[in-house]
Amino acid sequence: MVFLLIAIPAGYLYISAMQSRGGSESKKEQAAASGLEEGWPTRLQRRLYEVTVPPYAEDVASYETNAWKASSLFLQFTTTREKFDKWLSDVGSSAADLEAGEVTIDEDEAAEVGWNLGEGHHWAGTTVDQDKPKPSLEITANLDDPKYPRVFVVSTTTP
């Protein structure tokens, strides 16, 4: 009986310690990961950064950075022109706001996730500025194939 009184709590402590240790390793791996990750951003990220992904979008990838001064979500996807136009409306912009030849994402931001937004493509871009704490969006689209734009977004929140 005494053995059980000692063994059971000790077993729980051991299991708890191993779970905590495993969680720590997982967090370290996530922190060490850099660059775009395939798939949709989490629901929380989409809500926090006020971005969505059009239904049936392809080549979806995202990456989040967090710092004291600002946090950003990098998002890319390919969709149809119609869905892109609706997406622009959903984020507070429109196709009419897109400026031909404009790349709104700066080179440092693009380099952080390996985007090459240089010359030789048909770019169009716009920004959506909102009052703090709402995020600001930098939107750049590759319109080489106007029926299927490749969209690049950086949504940044500042406290």
Confidence tier at 33 by pLDDT (50, 70, 90): low
Residue 76 exposed, middle or buried by CB count within 10 Å (0-12, 13-18, 19+): buried
Domain locations in the chain?
A: 1-33, 35-157
pLDDT score of 16: 57
Looking at the DSSP assignment, which residues form a beta bridge with residue 157? 71
Indicate if the pLDDT at residue 120 is higher than 50: yes
